[in-house]
Structure 1
Amino acid sequence: MTRKTVRIAMNGVTGRMGHRQHLVRSILALREQGGLDIGEGTVLWPEPVLVGRRELALRALADRYGLEHVSTDLDAVLADPSVDIYFDAQATSAREDAVERAIAAGKHVYTEKPSATGLAGALDLARRAEEAGIKHGVVQDKLFLPGLLKLKRLIDGGFFGRVLSVRGEFGYWVFEGDWQPAQRPSWNYRAQDGGGIVVDMFPHWEYVLHELFGRVRTVQALTATLVPRRWDERDKPYDATADDAAYGIFELEGGVVAQINSSWAVRVNRDELVEFQVDGVEGSAVAGLRNCRVQHRGTTPKPVWNPDLPATHSFRDQWQEVPDNGEFDNGFKAQWELFLKHVYADAPYRWDLLAGARGVQLAELGLRSAAEGRRVDVPEIAP
């Protein structure tokens, strides 16, 4: 067995997602399992190069996990011929320029979403990557979660018959930061820094809807800033200028209607932080991050609406749990494995910068819809 070392420049790993999901639960997890077997007697050994602006924070991470390489000089790292891949988990406002520089340096690129702050920039990155002949990918982690994998299994098996509608609920209460620390960084709530729940979540909803049910044809959105004052990481109050809640209606190719609520100002009263209910002629399902429940047409009860009488049964108990029928790995790690196999074994891979541009487009059009108070068409992006 041949071990091939793969040096990956990881920019933004001092942040929440870059640290937990990408560094620890993906790249370091691959190292813990002995590397990634890509077939034909070759195992990839990922060697992260931690990149960022704060050297002390980078060195603290490196010491914590026994890593050797850190740098605050992105250009020097990109000029290093031993670095094969550039990964970006920075704040959105810093991403486009860094990814463009990585492409120009001839590095394969894997990036968090959104890939850019606007559609024009996202499409430009996709074009530059194709012209440079590099491999490129955008994180679309929800597709690899157990709950949505089970949902995909139901769709592929024809469980729903004709799908009628999709309803999604996402969100949780993000503390303002005054009397309890906020769970999200303060830039998320400043529009001038690339924040906002539409920019963050609509790219997710685009690929979930596109991959499972069909391309989004129209969007109608209402946004709000429900908590207008928050406290940052230095306990300083600031005005929230970005939307922290969004309510979207999406018309999909084939006639399916999807409605998804997203909020950082809602307290959770459901089984998981995100849930999708899919209703079809032959059956329905409710899928979360890990679990999925179904109710088939033949076992659907016949409820009668009578507000004068208390319910005598539990509606939740009338649904059946979908079994795992297999083991599910971390969704971020699963996509990292596919991207690395794409780069080094030429395995098929479709979640590229063009797919990422579709997410940026939906966010941009969602904000336009909210600003103009109307339904907006979503033009198809050609390869």
Structure 2
Amino acid sequence: MTRKTVRIAMNGVTGRMGYRQHLVRSILALREQGGLDLGDGTVLWPEPILLGRREHALKALAEQHGLEHWSTDVDAVLADDSVDIFFDAAMTSGREEVLKKAIAAGKHVYTEKPTAVGLEGAIELARLAREAGVKSGVVQDKLFLPGLLKLKRLIDGGFFGRILSVRGEFGYWVFEGDWQEAQRPSWNYRAEDGGGIVVDMFPHWEYVLHELFGRVTSVNALATTHVPTRWDEDGKPYAATADDSAYGIFEIEGGVVAQINSSWDVRVNRDELVEFQVDGTEGSAVAGLRNCRVQHRSATPKPVWNPDLPATYSFRDQWQEVPDNTEFDNGFKVQWELFLKHVYAGADYHWDLLAGARGVQMAELGLKSSAEGRRLDVPEISL
């Protein structure tokens, strides 16, 4: 076996997602398993370089995990020819600029979403990457969740017959920050800083719908701010200028209709924080982060509407659990492995910056639809 060291600049690792999912559960997990075997006698050894704005936090993380390299100087790291890949999980508002710098420096880029604050910028990033001959990847983690992998297994096996509709529910109550500390950073609720649930979640819904059911052809959305005042990390009140809840209807090629509610102002009364119910002529399924339940046409009961009598049965008990039948690794780690194999072994990979631009387009159209109060078509985009 030949070990090849891959130096990865990781920007934004002091944030929740950058640290937990990308550094610890992906890159460090790859190191713990001895690297990534490419199958040709080569093992990739990821060497992270921690990037961010807070020197003390970066130094503490490096010491905690026994890492040698960290910096607050993004430009200096990008100028280093030994750096192979640039990853970004920092604030959305600065992503487009830093990705342009990375591409100009000849680095392969892998990034969280959204890739830019507007569609024009997102397409420009995809164009620049193609012209520079660098490879790109955009995190589309929900595709690799056990629940959605089971759902895809059902779709590919023809379980549903003709799929009719998709109903999605996502969200939880994010504390306002006055008497309980908020679970999300305050910039998420300031539009001027790139916050908002449409910008955050509609890119997810685009790739989930696109990959599982087909291209989204129209969007009709209502975005709103249910909680107008929140408290920041210093305990100071601030005006929430970004939307914290969104209600969308998406038409999909072939006639499938999807309805997805996204909210940071909802208390959870379901089995998982996100669930999708798919109904088809031959059967239905409810998929979450990890679990998936089904009800086939042959086993569909006959509910009777009678408001005068209490129900004597549990609707949930009438569904069957889909078995795992395999071991599921962390979804973020799985996509990192696929991207690294794409860069260093030429493996197929289509979750690139152009795919990321579709997510930006969905968010942009969702906000426009809400502002104008009308349904909007979703044009196909290309370079």
TM-score, normalised by the number of residues in structure 2? 1.00
Whole-angstrom distance in 2 between the partners of 1:77 and 1:283: 53
Whole-angstrom distance in 2 between the partners of 1:178 and 1:27: 36
Whole-angstrom distance in 2 between the partners of 1:55 and 1:110: 23
Other-structure match for 1:360? 360
1:287 and 2:293 correspond: no
Instruction: Give how far 1:191 is off.
Output: 0.3
Other-structure match for 2:167? 167
Whole-angstrom distance in 2 between the partners of 1:139 and 1:40: 26
Give the AA of the match of 1:83: V
Equivalent pairs counted in the alignment come to 383
Whole-angstrom distance in 1 between the partners of 2:95 and 2:372: 28
- The alignment-based identity, stated in percent, is 84
Other-structure match for 1:18? 18
Other-structure match for 1:88? 88
Offset from partner CA, 1:282-335 (integer Å, 9 cap, x none): 000000000000000000001011111100100000000000010000000000
Other-structure match for 1:213? 213
Other-structure match for 1:381? 381
Give the AA of the match of 1:358: R
Other-structure match for 2:148? 148
Give the AA of the match of 1:196: G
Offset from partner CA, 1:12-65 (integer Å, 9 cap, x none): 000010000000000000001111001111110100000111111100110111
Give the AA of the match of 1:56: H
Superposed counterparts of 1:67-106, under 5 Å: 67-106=67-106
Whole-angstrom distance in 1 between the partners of 2:83 and 2:66: 19
Superposed counterparts of 1:48-127, under 5 Å: 48-127=48-127
Give the AA of the match of 1:365: L
Other-structure match for 1:131? 131
Whole-angstrom distance in 1 between the partners of 2:184 and 2:37: 35
Whole-angstrom distance in 2 between the partners of 1:113 and 1:2: 34
Give the AA of the match of 2:13: V
Other-structure match for 1:269? 269
Superposed counterparts of 1:197-208, under 5 Å: 197-208=197-208
Other-structure match for 2:332? 332
Give the AA of the match of 1:257: V
Instruction: Give how far 1:358 is off.
Output: 0.1
Instruction: Give how far 1:382 is off.
Output: 2.2
Whole-angstrom distance in 2 between the partners of 1:14 and 1:280: 43
Give the AA of the match of 1:110: Y
Instruction: Give how far 1:337 is off.
Output: 0.3
Superposed counterparts of 1:301-340, under 5 Å: 301-340=301-340
Give the AA of the match of 1:300: T
Whole-angstrom distance in 2 between the partners of 1:233 and 1:382: 41
Gaps of 5+ in 1: none
Q: Partner of 2:238: helix, strand, or coil? A: strand
Give the AA of the match of 1:269: N
Gaps of 5+ in 2: none
Q: Partner of 2:94: helix, strand, or coil? A: helix
Offset from partner CA, 1:115-165 (integer Å, 9 cap, x none): 000000000000000000001000000000000000000000000000000
Whole-angstrom distance in 1 between the partners of 2:205 and 2:82: 36
Whole-angstrom distance in 1 between the partners of 2:40 and 2:284: 43
Q: Partner of 1:177: helix, strand, or coil? A: coil
Q: Partner of 2:38: helix, strand, or coil? A: strand
